[in-house]
Amino acid sequence: MRIAIASGKGGTGKTTVAVNLALSLCGKESIQFLDCDVEEPNAHIFLKPQFDTTRSVDKLLPQVDSDKCTRCGACVEACEFNALALMGGNVMLYDSLCHGCGRCGLVCPTGAISEIPHQLGVVETGTTRGFPFARGLLNVGETMATPIIHALKREIDSSRLAILDAPPGTGCPTIAALHEADVALLVTEPTPFGLHDLKAAVEVARTLDVPTAVVINRAGIGNDQVERYCDEENIPIVLTIPFDRAIAETYAVGTPLVDAVPSWRKRFIKLAEQLKEVAR
């Protein structure tokens, strides 16, 4: 089973829920944790894993041999991402737009295009608290997070319950994390912004045909519009976390909630049981 924990916006408490769910289930189930927020992963702050392997994630960039190139422009016309341009008699490449699909090399009539690897980031794997932990790291300055998420998801062991801490928002990285998940656990807050972005996240999950459930974090700071929306859309609210200074203080010092207040473990275990029902 794959549980993708997502949110329509950043800062809702997505990683808090993912980390505490993992810690509540470890020892009871065979689990693994994947931090898919490759632009700024932070689950390691709470889980403190020991990494033992690092694997590079690359994309292949075209390299044009000027002696073979006839400047016909076939590669420029074939590129769907406008990463190539014919300027001043030379083929120019815009690295950040290139998706490394290789189409330009296939259409080149003279075989002038070869491919060279360009690192986007890395995938790190290790263990923490007795279960596997993996995360992706996008290199500073790179814009393509999706290939790293795909590479990270290849670490999933089908015999384990996989908890995926998805990127915030509703863009391509989030879609990559939610794809093929058994259930999407959407973390929101009871505010107008929270409701707006929750609706966007629900639409993404539905487009991918992934069942959804909701966690309301910081309950008590807003209104009841999130509850009303979930009731209207028949989306179960599987956990409510109150707006509580003590909870915020444990987060601020990097202590998981279930370590600071063990009674919360039962609530997260019950949440997992509810998610299994939602996924059926």
The answer to whether residues 161 and 265 belong to one domain is yes
Phi and psi at residue 178, in whole multiples of 5°?
-75, -25
The answer to whether residues 162 and 260 belong to one domain is yes
Number of domains the chain is built from = 2
**Residue 149 and residue 147: Cα distance in Å, rounded?**
5
86: domain CATH number is 3.30.70.20
CA atoms within 13 A on the CB side of 65: 11
The answer to whether residues 176 and 260 belong to one domain is yes
The answer to whether residues 135 and 267 belong to one domain is yes
The answer to whether residues 149 and 179 belong to one domain is yes
In the prediction, which pLDDT does 189 show?
Answer: 95
Instruction: Report the pLDDT averaged over residues 209-235.
Output: 95
The answer to whether residues 39 and 140 belong to one domain is yes
The answer to whether residues 88 and 225 belong to one domain is no
Domain boundary among 76, 94, 111: 111
Confidence of residue 89 (pLDDT cuts 50, 70, 90): confident
**Residue 122 and residue 226: Cα distance in Å, rounded?**
37
The answer to whether residues 195 and 75 belong to one domain is no
**Residue 117 and residue 56: Cα distance in Å, rounded?**
10
Going by the DSSP 8-state scheme, the letter that residue 5 receives in this structure is E
31: domain CATH number is 3.40.50.300
State which residues form the domain around 96. Answer: 66-111
| Sign of the CA dihedral running 253, 4, 11, 39 | positive
Using one digit for the tens of pLDDT, what is the confidence trace for 115-159?
999 999 999 999 999 999 999 999 999 989 999 999 999 999 999
Using one digit for the tens of pLDDT, what is the confidence trace for 36-78?
999 999 999 999 999 999 999 999 999 999 999 999 999 999 9
**Residue 7 and residue 10: Cα distance in Å, rounded?**
7
The answer to whether residues 46 and 74 belong to one domain is no
The answer to whether residues 99 and 215 belong to one domain is no
Domain boundary among 44, 79, 111: 111
Token match 């990683």: residue? 15
The answer to whether residues 170 and 90 belong to one domain is no
pTM over 0.75: yes
The answer to whether residues 9 and 106 belong to one domain is no
- Decide if pLDDT at 112 tops 80: yes
Domain boundary among 47, 80, 111: 111
Which of 257, 266, 252, 215 has the alpha carbon at shortest distance from 236? Answer: 215
